[in-house]
Structure 1
C-alpha cells in the first residue's frame, strides 16, 4: 500500500499531509518507539510503595477516626501539589478517549494507546492509596474534587490536528514528570518522594516516546509540525487547568517551587526544543519560517517574564522568612 500524494497547501509552502496520511506514515516510527519503550520500561507494583501499616479507618460505616491536618506527614505545599497531581491523573478516562479517537486502536498506534493508559492508571492507583493510607490529605475534599473534575471531563486545547496533539503530549509528559519530581522533593516525606520518583520515571519514558515521534514528524512535514509546535508552546496549559481551585493551587505551587514560569521555560520547553533543534531547522516554507520566528520570540519573552517571576518569588520568600523569624 502506498501513501496518497499529500495535497498542496499554498499557505504552508509545502504539500500538506492529512491526519490519516501522517498516522500511516508514522506507524513504523511508532512501532520502533513502542518496542524501545517495552524493552526499557520496568513493571512495578503500586502496592509496594504504599505504607499500609499506617492506615486506619475513616468515619462512616466503619466508625473510624476523623481526618485532621496534623495527621499528615507531608508539607503544606506538598499536600496542595499532591491533590493537583492526583486529580490530573484521575481524568485518565478522558485522556484515553482523546488519544484513542485521534490515534486509533489498531496496529502499533493502538498498542501504544492501551499500554500508555495502563501505565498511567498505575500512577493514579498508587497516589490515591498513599494519600489515604498516610492521611496526607482530607479524604472527603479529595473525593468531592474528584467528582467535580471528572464530571467536567477533559477536552484538549490542541484538537486542531494530530500533530498538535503529538506536540502537546511531548511537552506535557515532561511537565508532569517535573511536577511529580518536585512535589516529592518538597513533600517532606521520604515515602512520598520515593513513590513520585517512580512515577516520574514512567512520565520521562512517555515524554521520550512522543518527543521522538515529534522529531520524525519534523522530517516528514516540517512546516506543519513547526506550526503545531508554535501553537502548542505559545498556548500551553496543563491538563488539570479545569479542576476546582486550580488557579490558586497553581499560584501556591509556583511560589513553592513545584512548577512555575522559570521551571516551565528551563526544564520543560527548552529541553525538548533544544533536543529537536527546533529553532535551527532549515528548509522551511513561509508559514514554517514565520512559526519558527514567532516561537523564538515567544521563548525570549517567556525568559524575560520568568526573570521577573524569579524576583517576585525571592521577595515573597524573603518576607515569609522574616515573618517566621519575628
Structure 2
C-alpha cells in the first residue's frame, strides 16, 4: 500500500479501509454484549418530588462526584462526536459501519452513568441537567483535525477515557460504581485498540507524516470534556485525588502508546519526520518532569491543609 497524494487527507482513509474492515470484524468478534440496566441499583431509587435531593444523600466523595460528573457530561456530548467523526471518515463502507457501531456503544455509557447517579442520588440532579444542556449546546470544541490527526487523537483519548473511568471507579468508594465504570472501561479499551491499529497502519503507510502528527497531537492534547461548565474546578479536584493528572497522563496514557507503536524508534524518516521525532522525545521527557512537579505541589498542598486542620482531642 502507498499513499498516493496527501497522508493527511482522504487518500489515507482509502488506503486504510482494508485495515478498518479487518479491525471492525475483530472488534465485533471480541466485544461482549452487556445491558446497562443490570448495572444500576434500582431498589435504591426514590421519587424526587416527594424527597428532594440533599448533598448528604450522596454515597460519593466530593472528588468522586467531580470525576463522575465530568465522565458523564463528556459522554453526553455524543451527538457532537458522532457528527465530527462522520465528517472525518464518512458513512460509507467499513468506515461508516464503524462510526455507527462506535456511537451505539458509546451511547450506553452516558445512559448507565446517568441512571446510576440519579438512582443513588450521587449528585445534584438539577445542576447535572443544567450542565448537560450547557455542554451539549457548546458541543465539542476540537473540530480542526485532519483525518490522520483525528485517528491519533482518538487513540489517545480512548485510552485516557479508559483510565479515567477505571480510576474514578476505584476512587468512588462504592462497589456498584466501580463495577459499572470497570465495564465502561472495557468498551473504551476496545475502542482504543481499534484506533491504535489504524495508527500503526498509518505509521507504515506514511511514517514521517504520522510521526509529525503524533508530535503535534500529543503536545496539544486535551480531553474532550474541557468545554464543560466548571471543568477547571472539577479537573483540579480529580488531579488532587490522583484520578487523572499529569502523572497518570504520562505513565498510563502517553508513554504506553509511545512505546507500543515504537514511534521514537522508527527509522527511515524524512527531515521533517526526524525533527518531529526528536521534538516528541523531548516533550515526553518534559511531561515527566511536569508530572513530578505537579505531584510535589499536590503533596505540599495536602500537607499544608493537614497542618492547618484543627486537632480533635478526646474528652477524658
Given the two structures, how large is their TM-score scaled by the length of structure 1?
0.92
User: Is residue 283 of structure 1 aligned with residue 273 of structure 2?
Assistant: no
Aligned 8 A contact 1:98 1:155 in 2: no
Question: How does 1:1-326 map onto structure 2 within 5 Å?
Answer: 6-7=4-5, 16-17=6-7, 19-59=9-49, 64-156=50-142, 159-323=144-308, 326=311
Alpha-carbon offset, residue 324 of structure 1: 5.3
Aligned 8 A contact 1:41 1:205 in 2: yes
SS for the counterpart of 2:59 is coil
Aligned 8 A contact 2:8 2:148 in 1: no
Task: Provide the rounded CA distance (Å) in 2 between the counterparts of 1:323 and 1:197.
Answer: 36
Task: Provide the rounded CA distance (Å) in 2 between the counterparts of 1:39 and 1:96.
Answer: 23
Task: Provide the rounded CA distance (Å) in 2 between the counterparts of 1:234 and 1:85.
Answer: 23
Residues 260, 211 of structure 1: alpha-carbon distance in 2 compared, 3 angstrom cutoff: same
Alpha-carbon offset, residue 185 of structure 1: 0.5
Query: How much is the aligned-residue C-alpha RMSD, in angstroms?
Result: 1.4
Structure 2: 5+ residue stretches without partners: 312-316
Q: CA deviation digits over 1:16-58, x for unaligned, max 9?
A: 4352211111001001111111111101000000000000111
Alpha-carbon offset, residue 112 of structure 1: 0.5
Aligned 8 A contact 1:6 1:18 in 2: no
Task: Provide the rounded CA distance (Å) in 2 between the counterparts of 1:140 and 1:17.
Answer: 47
Residues 204, 45 of structure 1: alpha-carbon distance in 2 compared, 3 angstrom cutoff: same
Aligned length: 311
Structure 1: 5+ residue stretches without partners: 8-15
2:314 aligned residue: none
1:11 aligned residue: none
